[in-house]
Amino acid sequence: MGKEAVFYKGIKLYIKETGCNNMNRYKGIQHKGARHMPKRQWKGDYTGIGAALFLRSYIMMTVLFLIFMASPALAQGIPGGTTKASDSKELKLPYAFYNDAFGAAVGFVYGSTGYPQPQATTLGTVIAGSNSAVAFYLLSRDIRVPYTERFFFDTDLAVSHFGTIQSYINGNPDFPDERAGSNGSDKDNFVEGSGDDNLVRVTFKYLLPMGGGRDLPMNPPVLDRGLPKKGAGGGFSWNPFVSGRTFLEVKPYWRVQTIDSDNGTFDQKTNGIAFSVYRDNTDFTRNPSQGSAVRARYTRDWGWADSSRPYEVGDVEISKYISLGSSDKFRQCVLALDFWTAEAFSWDNTSRQDGKLVFNRPPAYLGATLGGLWRMRGYPTSRFNDQAAVYYALEYRLIPEWNPFAHIDWMQRYLGIEWWQWVTFVEAGRVAPAWSVSELHSAMKYDAGIGVRAMAKGIVVRVDMAGSKEGMGVSMMVGQPFQF
């Protein structure tokens, strides 16, 4: 029996041990995955991780999660039992953490759901670290344009300075003959120095009058202890005219990353517009348990204003969620799968910018990029970037019946944790100098990890830890990782 077959057998046994039912839904996935999973010589025995390792890992992640979540705060408590997802809730939370970018850091986060509108979410945070790092982040989701029914917008704003920042781009004199960020590039082939990373994105969305958006646009579901009541939401039909919400999206954006290193100053500047079609056919967008989500996107920078160069990128992401039912110990058991691919169509084209001939390629942080918070979490941010990329992920998500925070009055008053979630996941991906099925599925990169997530004041927060051949990464972020 091959490694990949043993791996999927291990997943099946692990799911069986949790007591979740609906295993008949999983059988087809198991056999199909065992046939098509690319062969790989793993470092370490990922297929037979023992109970002791899982226990130690979950203890470590739980401690990190509690440190992240259990700081004193000032907010209003949440009602127990049945609530509406639109009920207004506030999260006010000081926190502390350590990573390479910030060093030892402290921050404060403010978040709200159900305000200023029932379907809306807003989150802002400020951070200061010992690595001469300061940052401010602000995001909002599903804000309805005043005096309209079907027009919404999302915003993302980041202003940050780091004492040390890394980017996997050419410029390291120790690697003169190697393209940084390529699939076979050295993990130390990056430029490093102090720098700034600032961005603004606004996504305008039009909800089409079809499926779930026909009569009740953006109507939040009724929740039972943070989970939608049975029958709520979409995911019950593949037909977009029957189930799910479909959006037309236009996203203007601007981002500038500057690094001052010993070998010079490196700027990556971009501004452009992304056009996309997004279908959310899940039962609960914040934490899906069934259904699917699909986004097809075309992104273009025309080289205007302060842009480093023009480029064109296309990408597609497909997410699928399979409910494995519940058990005496777990309220929810979900198998979550994600596929994403991208290509920079203009990669080999050239143009003149400020009198210089440049390739029309996107910045390392945008386009066919892997590594960081969202894809290939066991690798640094934008560790791999090239003309094309492919990515696969599988997560097994469990929400226990037991909520250790439920009877801690001060924690519920400040944090309002309605559920917490245990997650194990594996990821596979690759970048390549051309979009080729055979090349993108050879010499792939892999990682595996665990996570602890929770719904706090209506906002999903997560702490994920993933390991790869190049090391270990810990991510702290809001939202589930797919289709963020």
DSSP 3-state assignment of 410? helix
398 to 18, 27, 113, 324, 456: CA distances (angstroms): 9, 19, 24, 10, 17
Give the C-alpha separation, 157 to 162, whole Å. Answer: 16
Give the C-alpha separation, 281 to 245, whole Å. Answer: 6
pTM above 0.85, yes or no: no
* pLDDT of res. 234: 72
* pLDDT of res. 412: 83
* pLDDT of res. 53: 38
For the segment 188-228, what is each residue's pLDDT rounded down to a tens digit? 999 999 999 999 999 999 999 998 888 866 767 788 888 88
* pLDDT of res. 475: 86
In the numeric block, which tokens belong to residue 152?
A: 């919404």
Give the C-alpha separation, 421 to 455, whole Å. Answer: 9
CATH code: domain 49-478 is 2.40.160.50
Phi-psi region of 242 (alpha: psi -120 to 50; beta: other; left: phi over 0): alpha
* pLDDT of res. 449: 97
* pLDDT of res. 84: 54
Instruction: Give the residue from 422, 289, 335, 333 showing the smallest Cα distance to 20.
Output: 333
H/E segment holding residue 26? helix 24-36
* pLDDT of res. 292: 95
* pLDDT of res. 420: 95
Give the C-alpha separation, 421 to 402, whole Å. Answer: 10
Give me the residue spans of the domains in the chain: 49-478
- Per DSSP, 404 falls in state T
Reported in sequence order, the residue ranges of 237-290 that DSSP labels E, i.e. its strands, are 245-261, 264-282
- Per DSSP, 296 falls in state E
Q: How many residues does the chain have?
A: 484
Give the C-alpha separation, 364 to 370, whole Å. Answer: 10
* pLDDT of res. 418: 92
Give the C-alpha separation, 299 to 250, whole Å. Answer: 10
* pLDDT of res. 21: 60
Give the C-alpha separation, 76 to 105, whole Å. Answer: 26
* pLDDT of res. 221: 76
* pLDDT of res. 214: 87
* pLDDT of res. 235: 75
> Per-residue pLDDT for the chain (484 aa), expressed as one digit of tens each?
554 454 455 555 556 666 676 544 444 434 333 333 333 333 333 333 333 333 444 444 444 444 444 433 322 333 345 555 555 688 888 888 887 778 899 999 998 988 888 889 999 999 999 989 999 999 999 999 999 999 999 999 999 999 999 999 999 999 999 999 999 999 999 999 999 999 999 999 999 999 888 886 676 778 888 888 765 567 778 888 988 999 999 999 999 999 999 989 999 999 999 999 999 999 999 999 999 999 999 999 999 988 999 999 999 999 999 999 999 999 999 999 999 999 999 999 999 877 889 899 999 999 999 999 999 999 999 999 999 999 999 999 999 999 998 888 888 888 889 999 999 999 999 999 999 999 999 999 999 999 999 999 888 999 999 999 999 988 888 899 998 7
Residue bearing tokens 């000081």: 94
Neighbours of 121 (CB within 10 A): 25
Give the C-alpha separation, 285 to 272, whole Å. Answer: 27
Distance between terminal CA atoms of the chain? 37
